[in-house]
Amino acid sequence: MPEEFRYTDEELIARFQDGDEQAYVELVNRYRDRLMSFIFRFVNDMEKAEDIVQDTLMKLYTHRHFYRNIAKFSTWIYTIAGNLAKTELRRKKRHKVTHLSHMGTEEREYQLPSVEPETGETAQGHFAEKQIQKAIQELPLHFRTVVILRDIQELSYEEISKIVDVPLGTVKSRINRARLQLQQALKEYR
Amino acid sequence: MDRYQFEDLISDFIENKLSMTQRKDFETYLDENPEAMQQLDSVKQVIASMKSMPEVSTSTDFMKNLNKRIAAEKEAQSVVKTTRSFAGYTPLMASLSAVVVVAVVLLGLEFIPETNNQATFSPTMAEQQVDDLPILPTQPNDDILAENEDDSTHVDEDMPNTTDFKDRIQLVGDRRP
List, for residues A54-68, the tens digit of each pLDDT value.
Answer: 999 999 999 999 998
Whether B53 contacts chain A with CB within 8 A? yes
According to DSSP, residue A190 is labeled -
Same-domain check for residues A6 and A86: yes
What is the average pLDDT value for chain A, to the nearest integer?
Answer: 85
Between chains, do B46 and A49 touch, taking CB under 8 Å as contact? Answer: no
Q: Which of A105-114, B11-20, B52-61, B80-89 is predicted least confidently?
A: A105-114
Residues A137, A70 share a domain: no
Given A57, A88, A112, which residue is the final one in a domain? Answer: A112
**Chain B interface mutation, best of A154, A180, A187, A190, highest count of B Cβ atoms under 10 Å:** A180
Tell me which chain B residue has its CA closest to the CA of residue A21. Answer: B70
**The last residue of a domain, from among A58, A80, A112:** A112
At residue A23, the pLDDT reads: 95
Pairwise pLDDT comparison (A139 vs A91), residue with the higher score: A139
Close Cβ partners of A125 (under 8 Å, ≥ 6 residues apart): none
The C-alpha of A103 sits at a distance from chain B's nearest C-alpha, in angstroms, of: 27
Name residue A176's amino acid: N
β-bridge mates for residue B89, sequence order: B86
Its pTM surpasses 0.90:
no
pLDDT at B109: 86
Q: Do A107 and A134 reside in the same domain of the chain?
A: no
**Burial category of A145 from C-beta neighbours within 10 Å (exposed 0-12, middle 13-18, buried 19 and up):** buried
Residues A52 and A16 in one domain: yes
- The answer on A58 and A121 residing in a single domain is no
B12, B56, B75: best to mutate for the A interface, most A CBs within 10 A: B56
Query: Do A18 and A62 reside in the same domain of the chain?
Result: yes
Domain count, chain A: 2
In the three-class reduction of DSSP (H, G, I as helix; E, B as strand; rest coil), residue A138 is classed as: helix
Burial A103-137 (b: 16+ CB within 10 A, else e): eeeeeeeeeeeeeeeeeeeeeebeebeebbeebbe
Q: Answer whether A58 touches B (CB < 8 Å).
A: yes
Q: Select from A46, A176, A186 the Cβ nearest to the Cβ of B11.
A: A176
Classified as helix, coil or strand, A139 is coil
- CA–CA separation, B7 vs B10, rounded Å? 5
Give the whole-angstrom CA distance, residue A38 versus residue A85: 10
Is residue A42 less than 8 Å (CB to CB) from chain B?
A: no
Local structure of B89: helix, strand or coil = strand
**Is residue A84 exposed (0-12), middle (13-18) or buried (19+ Cβ within 10 Å)?**
buried
The whole-number pLDDT of residue B111 equals 81
Query: How sure is the predictor about A113, in pLDDT bands with cuts at 50, 70 and 90?
Result: very low
Query: Is the pLDDT assigned to residue B122 strictly greater than 70?
Result: no
ipTM tops the 0.90 cut = no
For residue A39, give the H/E element and its range: helix A21-43
Number of alpha helices (DSSP H) and beta strands (DSSP E) in chain B? 7, 0
Q: Tell me the residue range of the domain where A162 lies.
A: 116-190
- Does position B127 have pLDDT exceeding 80, yes or no? no
* B11·A179 Cβ contact <8 A: yes
Q: Which residues of A touch B43 (CB under 8 A)?
A: 179-180, 183
My answer on whether A94 and A37 are in the same domain is yes
Are A34 and A93 part of one and the same domain? yes
Q: How confident is the model at residue B146 (pLDDT cuts 50, 70, 90)?
A: low
Same domain, A154 and A170: yes
> Which residues in chain A touch residue B46, judged by CB atoms under 8 angstroms apart?
132, 179, 182-183, 186
**B154 or B4: whose pLDDT is higher?**
B4
Closest CA to A107 of A37, A45, A40: A45
Same-domain status, A108 and A183 = no
Residue A16 and residue A103 share a domain: yes
Please, are residues A140 and A178 in contact by the beta-carbon 8 Å criterion? no
Which one of B11, B42, B56 has the shortest CB-CB distance to A40?
B56
Residue B70 · residue A61 · CB < 8 Å: yes
Considering the domain architecture, whether residues A69 and A82 belong to the same structural domain is answered as yes
pLDDT in tens, B83-106: 666 666 777 788 888 899 999 999
Across the interface, do B58 and A46 touch by the CB < 8 Å criterion? no
CATH number for position A104: 1.10.1740.10
Q: Which of A83, A112, A141 is the last residue of a domain?
A: A112
Interface test with A, best of B16, B26, B46 (most A CBs within 10 A): B46
> Residue B175: phi, psi to the nearest 5?
-105, 15
User: B56 vs A49: CB contact, 8 Å cut-off?
Assistant: yes
CATH number at A177 reads: 1.10.10.10
User: Please, which residues have CB within 8 angstroms of residue A179's CB and are 6 or more apart in sequence?
Assistant: A147, A151, B10, B11, B43, B46, B47
* C-alpha distance from B64 to closest chain A C-alpha (Å): 11
Residue A157's identity, in one-letter code, is: Y
Instruction: Say yes or no to pLDDT of A110 above 50.
Output: no
